[in-house]
């Protein structure tokens, strides 16, 4: 008999899912986090034969987290997300202490160095892109942006006079400033001017304003239709907001940019795994190779601990300087 992976108790589903989602929105969590937390809650319920979390305790949480490692072989970051979701479920949604469930199996983190492109490979990759994908990829590499940070840039985040980019609500919900590469400034000015026509079209069609972070939409109800809050890289198509069901223009999706970069890497014949995040790794490594102070690189990347930034010193090409292989001799 095929295993039933659905939660058939509709009152349980509606009651608990709605509570998880509503609490996530009250805590101003991102839509991505909201979906992930409910997904882990659902998997937790299914693992325990659809028993309500109210009837489960620390031992059950420990069993589920250990199952993720032993049976599903998840990475440490995946298990950590599941852990955060369950702590959120018990403490924020159900209003009770999660309890002591320490002692669960944890995956070992392999000592892997980040993938990094050489400067030549970055150049070949950029040569295989054009238009908006080229512009945003230049920013990912030239400013050390995460892909989520790049696609969520807004008009007002660009400071041409100061030569900086403002990253809003980055990892850990922190803002930071990073460098605006000289090479992209003129193409970016032209890009922004072209966006004015799209902005005028959206206003003429009376589309809902762009999504605003946190509670700004309630505090400033007209900010979403103001020029400075518009996305720097908007989507070509309008879509329904999954939370409000309003028709509005979203930003370019991460998946779309990832596909452009992956296809460009194939055309450039780069025999490495190339993702948008590899460009961020390359930004940090190339800055350190050129002599930039590691604390400065830490600030530009938005790392809370310099130890995180230190990993790039291990991928720098310092060993080869002045060292000759015995094979070459």
Q: Which of 194, 157, 294 is nearest to 149 (CA)?
A: 157
Q: Is 127 in the same domain as 273?
A: yes
171 part of a folded domain: yes
| pLDDT tens column, 207-241 | 988 988 766 666 777 888 999 999 999 999 988 88
Among the listed ranges 6-10, 59-63, 174-178, 322-326, which one has the minimum average pLDDT value?
Answer: 6-10
| pLDDT tens column, 289-324 | 888 999 999 999 999 888 888 888 877 654 444 456
**In sequence order, which ranges of the chain are alpha helices (DSSP H)?**
10-26, 31-47, 58-70, 76-88, 119-127, 131-143, 147-151, 182-204, 216-219, 254-267, 276-289, 294-301, 306-310
Q: What is the mean pLDDT of residues 144-157?
A: 95
**Residue 74 lies in domain:** 10-93
Q: Is 289 in the same domain as 163?
A: yes
Asked whether the predicted pLDDT for residue 81 surpasses 50, the reply is yes
| Catalytic (active-site) positions | 146, 171, 277, 280, 303, 312
Q: Is 273 in the same domain as 129?
A: yes
Q: Which of 267, 284, 270 is nearest to 120 (CA)?
A: 270
Asked whether the predicted pLDDT for residue 165 surpasses 70, the reply is yes
* Percent with pLDDT over 90 in the chain: 60
**How crowded is residue 180: how many other Cβ atoms within 10 Å of its Cβ?**
21
Q: Is 173 in the same domain as 288?
A: yes
Which H or E run contains 176? strand 176-179
Half-sphere exposure of residue 191: CA atoms within 13 angstroms, side-chain side: 20
Structure confidence at residue 187 (pLDDT)? 96
Structure confidence at residue 161 (pLDDT)? 94
Q: Both tokens of residue 305?
A: 């601990």
Structure confidence at residue 76 (pLDDT)? 85
Q: Is 263 in the same domain as 299?
A: yes
Q: Is 78 in the same domain as 167?
A: no
CATH number of the structural domain spanning residue 205: 1.10.443.10
Structure confidence at residue 324 (pLDDT)? 61
Q: Is 59 in the same domain as 196?
A: no
Asked whether the predicted pLDDT for residue 176 surpasses 60, the reply is yes
107 part of a folded domain: no
Task: Say how many domains are in the chain.
Answer: 2
109 part of a folded domain: no
Structure confidence at residue 211 (pLDDT)? 86
Q: Which of 32, 59, 93 is the last residue of a domain?
A: 93
* Percent with pLDDT over 70 in the chain: 88
pTM score, whole prediction:
0.77
Asked whether the predicted pLDDT for residue 181 surpasses 90, the reply is yes
Q: Which residue has the higher pLDDT, 100 or 111?
A: 100
Q: Which of 93, 127, 151 is the last residue of a domain?
A: 93
């Amino acid at each position: 008999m095929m295993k039933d992976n659905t939660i058939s108790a509709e009152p349980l589903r509606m009651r608990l899912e709605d509570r998880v989602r509503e609490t996530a929105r009250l805590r101003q969590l991102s839509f991505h986090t909201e979906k992930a937390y409910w997904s882990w809650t659902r998997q937790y319920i299914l693992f325990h034969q659809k028993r309500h979390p109210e009837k489960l305790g620390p031992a059950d949480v420990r069993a589920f987290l250990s199952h993720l490692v032993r049976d599903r072989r998840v990475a440490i970051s995946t298990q950590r997300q599941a852990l955060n979701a369950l702590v959120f479920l018990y403490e924020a949604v159900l209003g009770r202490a999660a309890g002591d469930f320490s002692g669960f199996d944890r995956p070992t983190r392999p000592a892997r160095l980040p993938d990094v492109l050489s400067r030549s490979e970055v150049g070949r990759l950029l040569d295989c892109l054009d238009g908006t994908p080229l512009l945003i990829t230049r920013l990912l590499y030239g400013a050390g942006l995460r892909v989520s940070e790049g696609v969520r840039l807004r008009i007002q985040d660009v400071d041409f006079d100061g030569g900086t980019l403002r990253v809003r609500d980055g990892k850990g919900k922190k803002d930071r400033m990073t460098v605006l590469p000289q090479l992209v400034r003129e193409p970016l000015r032209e890009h922004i001017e072209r966006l004015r026509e799209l902005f005028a079209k959206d206003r003429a069609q009376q589309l809902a304003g762009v999504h605003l972070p946190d509670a700004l939409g309630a505090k400033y109800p007209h900010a979403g239709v103001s020029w400075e809050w518009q996305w720097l890289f908007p989507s070509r198509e309008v879509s329904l907001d999954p939370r409000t069901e309003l028709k509005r223009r979203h930003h370019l999706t991460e998946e779309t940019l990832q596909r452009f970069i992956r296809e460009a890497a194939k055309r450039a014949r780069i025999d490495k795994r190339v993702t948008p995040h590899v460009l961020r790794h390359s930004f940090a490594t190339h800055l350190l190779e050129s002599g930039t102070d590691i604390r400065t690189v830490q600030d530009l990347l938005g790392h809370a601990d310099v130890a995180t930034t230190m990993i790039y010193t291990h991928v720098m090409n310092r060993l080869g300087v002045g060292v000759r292989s015995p094979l070459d001799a």
